């Protein structure tokens, strides 16, 4: 089965970030490391890692690209203690985007931008089955607000054997998004 591998563009910290992320998640490992020469960005350091079964490629390719919170990684946790432990590590040198606390959708949730600028949403799953530990989470805000469902359907149409999984919709009173739109 073919899988999509997430590529993360760092300025100079790809190898350091790779080691840090692998240290956070059990059943994770470092893969390969290499240098690519004569790219449009010059010499690029490349590292591959696997975090709980999800492949990532990390590149140190210069300051041309920066992470934004519009793409983050949702980490489904079995316990509140696991949420708290990940929060403590990711917050070191980072920034809380949504304070760790209780929200209508989870008894324990926090959104943090780590020291490298990458954002993570940590959520206690409660009784919900965890089908995937780490899920890339694009966020549709501002001019793109309300377009998530259209994007989901477009992505599913492009990839063979793809299907729509769980969809969470905003409820009444969950402004700024309209009731019924996809979160």
pLDDT for res 2? 66
Q: Which of 19-23, 63-67, 85-89, 90-94 has the lowest mean pLDDT?
A: 63-67
* Residues recorded for the chain: 183
pLDDT for res 176? 67
- Mean pLDDT across 31-48: 90
Domains in the chain: boundaries: 6-60, 71-138, 140-183
Contact assessment for residue 44 and residue 36, using Cβ atoms and an 8 Å cutoff? yes
Place of tokens 């490349």: 46
pLDDT band of residue 60 (cuts 50, 70, 90) is very high
Mean pLDDT of the chain: 91
Helices and strands (H, E) in the chain, number of each type? 3, 9
Contact assessment for residue 13 and residue 21, using Cβ atoms and an 8 Å cutoff? no
Q: Which two tokens stand for residue 82?
A: 């696991």
Domains 6-60 and 71-138 share a fold: yes
Asked whether residue 132 carries a pLDDT value surpassing 80, the answer given is yes
Of 140 and 11, the one with more pLDDT: 11
pLDDT band of residue 145 (cuts 50, 70, 90) is confident
- Mean pLDDT across 44-51: 94
Contact assessment for residue 5 and residue 134, using Cβ atoms and an 8 Å cutoff? no
Asked whether residue 42 carries a pLDDT value surpassing 70, the answer given is yes
Contact assessment for residue 121 and residue 136, using Cβ atoms and an 8 Å cutoff? no
Fold of 6-60: 3.30.720
**What CA–CA distances, in Å, run from 107 to 4, 24, 80, 102?**
31, 22, 8, 5
pLDDT band of residue 133 (cuts 50, 70, 90) is very high
Fold of 71-138: 3.30.720
Helix, strand, coil % over all residues of the chain, rounded to 5: 20, 40, 40
The pTM of the full predicted model, rounded to 2 decimals, is 0.88
**What CA–CA distances, in Å, run from 114 to 14, 73, 93?**
13, 11, 7
Contact assessment for residue 158 and residue 152, using Cβ atoms and an 8 Å cutoff? no
What percent of the chain is modeled with pLDDT above 70?
97
């Amino acid at each position: 089965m073919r899988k999509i591998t997430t590529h993360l563009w760092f300025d100079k910290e790809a190898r350091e970030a790779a080691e840090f992320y692998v240290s956070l998640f059990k059943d994770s490992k470092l893969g390969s490391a290499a240098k690519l020469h004569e790219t449009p960005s010059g010499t690029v350091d490349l590292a591959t890692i696997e975090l709980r079964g999800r492949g990532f490629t990390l590149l140190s390719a210069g300051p041309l690209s920066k992470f934004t919170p519009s793409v983050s990684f949702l980490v489904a946790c079995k316990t509140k203690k696991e949420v708290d432990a990940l929060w403590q590590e990711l917050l070191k040198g980072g920034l809380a985007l949504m304070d760790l606390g209780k929200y209508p959708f989870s008894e324990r949730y926090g959104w943090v931008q780590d020291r490298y600028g990458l954002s993570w949403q940590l959520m206690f799953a409660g009784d919900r089955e965890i089908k995937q530990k780490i899920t890339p989470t694009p966020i549709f805000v501002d001019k793109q607000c309300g377009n998530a469902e259209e994007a989901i359907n477009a992505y599913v149409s492009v990839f063979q054997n793809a299907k729509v999984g769980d969809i969470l919709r905003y409820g009444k009173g969950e402004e700024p998004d309209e009731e019924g739109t996809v979160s």
